[in-house]
Amino acid sequence: MEKMIYLDHAATTRTLPEVTEVMEPYQDIYYGNPSTIYEFGEKSREAIEWAREMIAGTIRARPEEIFFTSGGTESDNWALKEAVHLHESMHPGSRGKILTTPVEHHAILNSCEELKQMGCGVFFLNVDETGRVFLAAAEEAVLENEDACLISVMYANNEIGTIQPIDELGKMAKRRKILFHTDAVQAYGHLPINVQRDNIDMLSASAHKFGGPKGVGFLYIRKEINLPAFVHGGAQESNRRAGTENVPGIVGMGKAAELAYKRMGMESRRIRHLRDYLAYRILREIPDVKMTGNRKYRLSNNASFCFRGITGEAAAILLDTQGICVSSGSACSTGSLEDSHVLAAIGIESEWAQGALRITLGAENTKEEMDYVVEKVKMVVADMRGMR
pLDDT exceeds cutoff 90 at 248: yes
205 closest CA partner among 111, 115, 78, 86: 78
pLDDT exceeds cutoff 90 at 153: yes
Highest mean pLDDT among 211-220, 331-340, 378-387: 211-220
- pLDDT given at position 1: 45
**Residue 338 — very low, low, confident or very high, per pLDDT cuts 50/70/90?**
confident
With contact defined as beta carbons under 8 Å apart, do 30 and 47 qualify?
A: yes
In this structure, of 125-129, 323-327, 329-333, 375-379, the range with the lowest mean pLDDT score is: 329-333
pLDDT exceeds cutoff 70 at 175: yes
Mean pLDDT of 39-50: 89
Among the options 112, 120, 149, 332, which is catalytic?
332
Kind and range of the H or E run holding 250: helix 247-285
Query: Tell me, which fold does domain 5-12+264-384 have in CATH?
Result: Aspartate Aminotransferase, domain 1 (3.90.1150)
Mean pLDDT of 278-306: 98
Give me the residues paired with residue 287 across strands: none
pLDDT in tens, 8-21: 999 999 999 999 99
Domain ranges across the chain: 5-12+264-384, 17-259
- pLDDT given at position 105: 97
State the DSSP string of 3-49.
--EE-BTTT--PPPHHHHHHHTHHHHTS---TTSSSHHHHHHHHHHH
pLDDT in tens, 205-241: 999 999 999 999 999 999 999 999 999 999 999 999 9
The SS3 assignment for 353 reads helix
Q: Which CATH number fits domain 17-259: 3.40.50.620, 3.90.105.10, 3.40.640.10, 3.40.50.720?
A: 3.40.640.10
pTM score: 0.95
332 labelled catalytic: yes
* 255: Cβ contacts below 8 Å, ≥ 6 apart: 16, 18, 19, 22, 23, 51, 54, 212
What are residue 128's phi and psi, to 5 degrees? -85, -170
